[in-house]
Structure 1
Amino acid sequence: MVARVFVHVGLPKTATSYLQTILWSQRDALRERGVVVPGSERRDHLWASRTVRHDPAQRRAPEHHRTAWRRLVEELGTSDGTGLVSHEFFAAASADQARAMVAELPTDDVHLVVTAREPLGLFTASWQESLKNGATTPMPDYGRDESPKPTAIWNWRTLDLRLVLERWSQAVPPERIHVVVLDPGAPRDDVWRRFADVVGFSPDGIDLSGSFPNTSMGVAEAETLRRVNGSLEGFRSAFDRGVYIRTFLADERLVPRRGERFWPEPDQVADCRRRGEAAVAHLRSAPYDVVGDLDHLRVPDELEERRLTGSVTDAEVAGVAVDLVATMLGDVRTLRRRQARTPGATGSRVVRRLPGGLRRLAGRALRVGRRRG
């Protein structure tokens, strides 16, 4: 069995996608360095988090989803070296669920890794991420409570560093909890190098070319997506939200517009500032291993001028929507032309030549067509 296990629980929107992309694309290289990322695919860690958090949706999920946590534990039990499990949704676990998860791991030497950043940027980014997952909540109504439910992801339950540490420190002692504080002025690979140092392997020679930043939308683009979500019907599955809303529409069509940046409401900014100070005080109250500068967990006293989401006009939304229609019409034409230029080619061959989200979109349509045929 592995000698020890590191459980990376987020927080959400703290370079988790960036880190996980590297971990999964470089699993073989990490295995050679004694680090085991268990599972057959990246989503195994997501599905495992649902089992750990007793998500009711897991009871209706396919067997492969429901058995993910068991398979991860079994692989760690038959492997050597250091185990590494990573998904930001573990942050929502209750103290009892955290204790149960740690107890099931095949070693007593369990460490927690928590990546963290200042709460205002985190809060703003998390609202956008909720929209990319199909939400319709306006910014002024977002983050107004601390949910008691371990299924609540886009909530202060997972975004407030102090709350997450208070629950998880009942399962893992503070001296084995490593808080990696993101430095907003550091090079892009800084968090990767510090993460590797915590887990105990050299980051040198690891290919980072497949990693990507999870970029934000502008204020008019975010409001347009929020309204589109309110008109969508039938886009409820995780696959549909991930491929159609998040990747195809948000990341590949709205983000590249590079719209204007924005802040939450003034009282939400004040709440973020209070939570940042509380997190710093909590970290100083116990022997946590803090990797980075605690001041980077504080909301700056002076903030640059940015728009509020309520300032977006109907005319701005209409302008974004018109551009979207034009772009997506071009996507359809590209698909049709490539099909026409490839006489006798299979649908799969045509789909493989398409870019990014359009390739995934067309691929899903092709699979659905085959099932119906």
Structure 2
Amino acid sequence: MSRPTVVIHVGLPKTGTTYLQDRLWRNRDTALRVGGLLYPGVEMSDHFHAAVHLQPERYLDWVDPAHADAWGRMVAQMRAWPGTSLVSHELFSTATSDQVRSVLADLDFADVHVVATVRDLARQLPSVWQENVKNQHTSSLDEFIGSLRHDPVDEQEPFWEFQDFVRILRTWGDGLPAERVHLVTVPPSGSGPAASLWDRFTSVLGVDGADLDVPVPPSNAALTPAQVELLRRLNTHLQPDTVAWDRYEWAVKRHLIGDILFDSVDRHGRTLTADQSRWAAERSEAMIAAVADAGFDIVGDTGDLRVAPTTDTGATGEPTPEETLEVATAALARILATMPMPAHRRGARSRLGAVVRGGRRRAAALALRRRAR
């Protein structure tokens, strides 16, 4: 009798993981019925809770005792399913060797596969930096990349903890056959007929992605360079010692970013300078070589992960002060034009309008009487 299969998707963050998870969850009934794929949990956030409860010291702020049994319930569901099951969350990428062994021990009834989705550093560095700025960070892109180059273990910037796919796959793949450790590359933008990330990922799961056709609305859209610069400057006034996180999340992330800034159709992001791209190219080549030496299964093309060194044209997309000011002015105007009026002011406005309209009517009547004379 064949053993069940459990696939653990460990990230990486900013590699299309939200899209993959959302589409799989929306199609999970079809995936189970047609493809024999179980996406366990009562709700999709169970995978998040499983990841943080695995690492309680690291994610103490997110550990919720009400969800402490999420992993146990998911394991019970997977143990009862004879086919393939999927566990997916980016926070699994930071698990230690001991924590990984604990997970694998819980899944000793199955053949475990590990998969990481990976994107080239030329896109990943600006994307992660922008996501940081959306979460109260104040570093410029140059400062962010400079910290990674000169202090790769900087505790204030855990980029490599989430993005060093060589270390992550080695940690999760320790004790597993190399063919059960999968690296799925994210195709370059505008790559034409090349297989999509969705097709590549679902091929690892053994399902036909075309069958899972419930659409997913766009989410987590990128900001323009000028919008990011506006937000970065705002963050210097909105640090944790001056504004609580719940207020920042509501006022900045949900309203300013979600309702106001995402309206722009211009989505051309920042790019690396020539010097930064040369460094990223060297770092990428070393990581690609290490993965090849490990013999992991490559789904896609390692060429997707290469960074082409660029000549220094100076055109990195860094916004001018005037562009940032224009974005700030437009955002402020939109906020003022759409912010709700207090109920008592709405009444006052109506009374004032009536007074004005009444005055106009009286003036018009007086003018008519004068002309009649």
1:234 has 2:234 as partner:
no
Q: 1:137 to 1:72 in 2, by over 3 A?
A: farther
Corresponding residue for residue 348 of structure 1: none
Q: Which residue of 2 aligns with 1:50?
A: 52
What residue number does 2:8 align with?
Answer: 7
Report what 2:367 is aligned to.
none
1:19-98 alignment, distance < 5 Å: 19-32=20-33, 33-58=35-60, 61-98=63-100
Question: What is the CA distance between 1:168 and its match in structure 2?
Answer: 2.2
Q: TM-score, normalised by structure 2?
A: 0.78
1:229 and 1:175 map into 2 onto residues whose CA distance is 45
Alignment partners' CA distance in 2, 1:86 and 1:188: 24
Compare 172-181 and 182-191 and name the one that shifted more.
182-191
Deviation at 1:2, TM superposition (A): 7.6
The AA in structure 1 aligned to 2:281 is: R
| Residue aligned with 1:263, SS | coil
1:332 aligns with 2:339: yes
Amino acid at match of 1:180: V
Taking every aligned residue pair, what percent have the same amino acid on both sides? 31
> 2: distance between equivalents of 1:55 and 1:335?
44
Distance 1:261-1:335 versus aligned 2 partners, 3 A rule: farther
Deviation at 1:285, TM superposition (A): 0.6
1:64-213 → structure 2 map (5 Å cutoff)? 64-143=66-145, 144=148, 145-147=151-153, 155-170=159-174, 172-184=176-188, 185-186=191-192, 190-212=196-218
Q: Does structure 1 conserve the Cα–Cα contact (< 8 Å) formed by 2:52 and 2:62?
A: no
- The answer on whether the counterparts of 1:263 and 1:308 sit within 8 Å (CA) in structure 2 is yes
**What letter is aligned with 2:130?**
Q
Amino acid at match of 1:292: G
Of 294, 298, 302 in structure 1, the residue corresponding to residue 306 of structure 2 is 298
Structure 1 residues 157 and 252: alpha-carbon distance in aligned structure 2, compared to 1, 3 A threshold: same
Q: Structure 2 counterpart of 1:319, which letter?
A: E
Cα deviations across residues 33-81 of structure 1 (Å, max 9, x unaligned)? 3211111222221221112233444377432233322332232223332
Distance verdict in 2 for CA 1:106–1:23, change over 3 Å: farther
Aligned letter for 1:49?
Answer: A
Q: Is the 8 A contact 1:49 1:89 kept in 2?
A: yes
Contact kept in structure 2, 1:6 and 1:84, CA below 8 Å: yes
* Residue of structure 1 in register with 2:256 after alignment: 249
Query: Deviation at 1:112?
Result: 0.7
User: Of residues 292, 296, 320 in structure 2, which corresponds to 1:284?
Assistant: 292
For residues 269 and 229 of structure 1, the distance between their equivalents in structure 2, rounded to whole angstroms, comes to 27
Equivalent in 280, 288, 308 of residue 272 of structure 1: 280
Contact in 2 for aligned 1:102/1:171 (Cα 8 Å): no
Per the normalisation by structure 1, the TM-score is: 0.78
Give the unaligned 5+ runs of structure 1. Answer: 341-373
In the superposition, relative to structure 1, how do residues 75 and 229 fare at CA in structure 2: closer, same or farther (>3 Å)? farther
Q: Is contact 2:230–2:327 with CA below 8 Å preserved after alignment?
A: yes
What is the CA-CA distance between 1:276 and the residue it aligns to? 1.2
Deviates more, 1:3-12 or 1:198-207: 198-207
The one-letter amino acid of 2:118's match is A
CA contact (8 A) 1:146 1:157 kept: no
Largest Rg, 1 or 2: 2
Instruction: Give the SS at the match of 2:213.
Output: coil
Matched, 1:17 2:18: yes
- The answer to whether the 8 A contact 1:148-1:157 is kept is no
Q: CA deviation at 1:191?
A: 1.2
Do the aligned residues in 2 keep the contact of 1:2 with 1:79 (CA within 8 Å)?
no
Q: How many residues align?
A: 333
Let me know the Cα RMSD of the aligned residues: 3.2
- 2:222·2:267 contact (CA, 8 Å) conserved in 1? no
1: CA distance between counterparts of 2:5 and 2:199?
20
- The equivalent of 1:362 in structure 2 is none
Name the residue aligned to 1:368: none
2:368 corresponds to: none
Cα distance between partner residues in 1 of 2:203 and 2:54: 27
